[in-house]
Amino acid sequence: MSVDVSVLVPTSAEETYGWLTEPAKLRRWQLIAGRTDLRVGGEFRWLIAPGHTAVGAYTAVEPARRLAYAWGWEGAEEVPPGSSTVEVTLAPSAGGTEVRLVHDGLSDVQAKAHAEGWEHFLQRLRTVTIIGDAGPDEVAGLGDDPNPLTAAEASLAICLRVLRAVGTSHGADKTPCAKFTVDDLLDHLLGSLTSLAGMAGRPFEAGDGTPEERVADAGLRSIEAWRARGLDGTVTARLGEIPAELASAILSVEFLVHGWDFAVATGVDFKADDKLSAYVLDLARGLITPQVRDGEQFAAEVPVGPDVNTLERLVAFTGRAV
């Protein structure tokens, strides 16, 4: 079975091709984060929604005309990597460019689900070509069967949206963390992500770029490290051996709470739904013990009233005034 869907966007074929291929632009409508090696034989890895990573390799790369690639979902029994193909063609049309996407190699059930997904994303593509950002995506939420890694991916999506809005001109701004400017906090977050990846057995060095680009790459690599390792057993942390599942929970707290820090420091709007905030608060309660409330790692919990929302309870629990 095939999926065959199309959309008319108001941009030229050259501009539209950029929205389909450049990671920084893909994050505005399709991806949470991802890597793309744009050449025939080059591989891509796209975190599209929490718990759903698409992987494949390009079989055709024709700028402003056509893309084709093998497609599959990492870890999936249905539509595993390499089991299907996607072809995207761009045709100049009155008023812009017609984008046609054909996805082959699917069963009836798979085709129905993928048709709905591709329709959703092509409409987001149209939106992003009109206004420059398709906005928060409903598919990037926590989902119905959360775990520390899907929570980390949902929290990363929120943190990256904040950093995209923050840009590069607020490095010296003070944050709710008294000792940190925005640049200091960025360095702290990147250091935590590289440390956590090393804890999971896949060390790396943070790259260059804008704050959003750096955290997108480091966040993806750190989560990948934990997905490859799994959450069983123990790992070695600064304070000794701790359960791996507990260590992996640090990712969600780092992304969500520091995303809030960046937003408050720079006046950027911050939104996180109650379901995700409640899940990360539960993770934080397991992580932040009285022993680490030493003023260096975490301050004392800030008392809050009964009317605050779940996000504010999380922030107060980590020692920040709301």
Q: Locate the domains of the chain by residue range.
A: 2-131, 141-317
The CATH code of the domain at 141-317 is 1.20.120
Rounded Cα gap, residues 187 and 193, in angstroms: 10
Give Cβ neighbours of residue 198 (< 8 Å, ≥ 6 apart): none
Q: What confidence score (pLDDT) does residue 166 get?
A: 96
For residue 151, the tally of other CB atoms under 10 A from its CB is 26
Write the single-letter amino acid at 255. F
Q: What confidence score (pLDDT) does residue 297 get?
A: 76
Q: What are the backbone angles phi and psi of residue 172, rounded to the nearest 5°?
A: -90, -5
Record the pTM: 0.96
pLDDT along the chain (322 residues), means of 10: 96 98 97 97 97 97 98 94 97 96 96 96 98 94 92 98 97 92 97 97 96 98 97 90 96 98 97 96 93 80 93 95 88
Q: Provide long-range contacts, Cβ within 8 A and 24+ apart, for 223-227.
A: 223/47, 223/149, 223/152, 223/153, 223/156, 223/251, 224/45, 225/196, 225/197, 225/200, 225/201, 226/149, 226/152, 226/196, 226/197, 226/200, 226/251, 227/149
Q: What confidence score (pLDDT) does residue 289 get?
A: 87
Name the fold adopted by 2-131.
Alpha-D-Glucose-1,6-Bisphosphate; Chain A, domain 4 (3.30.530)
Q: What confidence score (pLDDT) does residue 188 get?
A: 96
Say if CB 99 and CB 9 are below 8 A apart: yes
Q: What confidence score (pLDDT) does residue 224 get?
A: 97
Instruction: State whether the Cα torsion 16-22-25-30 is positive or negative.
Output: positive
Radius of gyration of the chain (CA): 21
Q: What confidence score (pLDDT) does residue 253 get?
A: 97
